[in-house]
């Protein structure tokens, strides 16, 4: 996916760092950026007209995929020229329609949209940003596109309630920092535990690496280096190259972490 999350900054860098979603995994010696690519199911390429027809018929998945395809086009100025802004806003329209139907990935992206603000998002693409206003019409209603952590938190929670691990982690971050609503460390930590249980049961290597980072930095939950090391190891066993590099480094430099030695 090459949508909003490719440039979204999660609060204080607790979970995510900016990275292109089409970018290859970084080498072991660099900090790992996060990608929402694992959230997007592999689907055969559908021609744009067929996708538009499905989206118009109310298919939430098609609406989401159409939003992505339009953002791809928007990100290639030579293809759209003076229609950049129209294409950008149309992509947001389909994204919102998909999210309103409860499509989990679309709801996460809506959270990203409000976390950064659409004007800033457009400017980050380098084209048309200055022409994007704070409001636009969608289905006859005006939508405020300014940054809103409260709106982001709402959309993340809706997706988290559907069992989306990524949304659980993002909501927990905002809840732990108190952005967009009351600070509630207990609720944040409970959500992290639910995400951990789900990631382990589903054998989700991407989610396991995210959780390993969270327990390693100790900003949302109490730092647990032993648990973090085990999570890195589980993700490595599932084939995550970044996790493998991190786990091998732990075994080499800090083997006592697995037994909790040197725990802060």
User: What is the pLDDT averaged over residues 66-82?
Assistant: 71
pLDDT(27) > 90: no
Average pLDDT over residues 237-250: 95
Q: How many CB atoms lie within 10 A of CB 105?
A: 27
Q: How far apart are CA 17 and CA 228, in angstroms?
A: 19
Q: How many CB atoms lie within 10 A of CB 94?
A: 26
pTM: 0.75
The token pair that represents 92 in the structure block: 């947001």
At 192-236, the pLDDT tens digits run: 999 999 999 999 999 999 999 999 999 999 999 999 999 999 999
H-helix or E-strand spanning residue 135: strand 135-138
Report pLDDT for 86: 75
* Choice among 29-33, 74-78, 123-127 with the minimum mean pLDDT: 29-33
Closest CA to 32 of 210, 157, 199: 210
CA distance 23 to 2: 10
Q: What is the pLDDT of residue 78?
A: 56
Strand bridging mode 135-138 / 141-144: antiparallel
């Amino acid at each position: 996916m090459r949508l909003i999350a490719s440039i979204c900054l999660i609060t204080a860098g607790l979970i995510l760092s900016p990275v292109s979603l089409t970018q290859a995994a970084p080498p072991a010696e660099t900090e790992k950026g996060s990608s929402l690519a694992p959230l997007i199911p592999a689907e055969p390429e559908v021609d744009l007209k067929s996708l538009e027809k499905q989206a118009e018929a109310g298919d939430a998945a098609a609406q989401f995929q159409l939003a992505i395809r339009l953002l791809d086009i928007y990100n290639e100025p030579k293809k759209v020229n003076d229609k950049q802004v129209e294409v950008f806003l149309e992509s947001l329209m389909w994204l919102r329609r998909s999210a309103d139907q409860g499509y989990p990935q679309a709801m996460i992206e809506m959270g990203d949209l409000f976390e950064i603000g659409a004007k800033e998002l457009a400017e980050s693409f380098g084209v048309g940003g200055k022409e994007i206003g704070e409001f636009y019409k969608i289905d006859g209603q005006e939508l405020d596109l300014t940054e809103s952590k409260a709106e982001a938190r709402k959309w993340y929670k809706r997706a988290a309630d559907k069992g989306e691990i990524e949304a659980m982690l993002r909501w927990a971050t905002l809840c732990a920092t108190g952005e967009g609503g009351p600070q509630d460390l207990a609720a944040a930590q409970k959500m992290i535990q639910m995400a951990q249980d789900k990631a382990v049961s589903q054998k989700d290597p991407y989610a396991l690496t995210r959780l390993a980072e969270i327990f390693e930095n100790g900003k949302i939950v109490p730092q647990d280096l032993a648990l973090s090391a085990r999570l890195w190891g589980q993700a490595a066993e599932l084939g995550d190259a970044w996790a493998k590099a991190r786990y091998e480094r732990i075994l080499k430099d800090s083997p006592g972490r697995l037994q909790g030695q040197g725990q802060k």
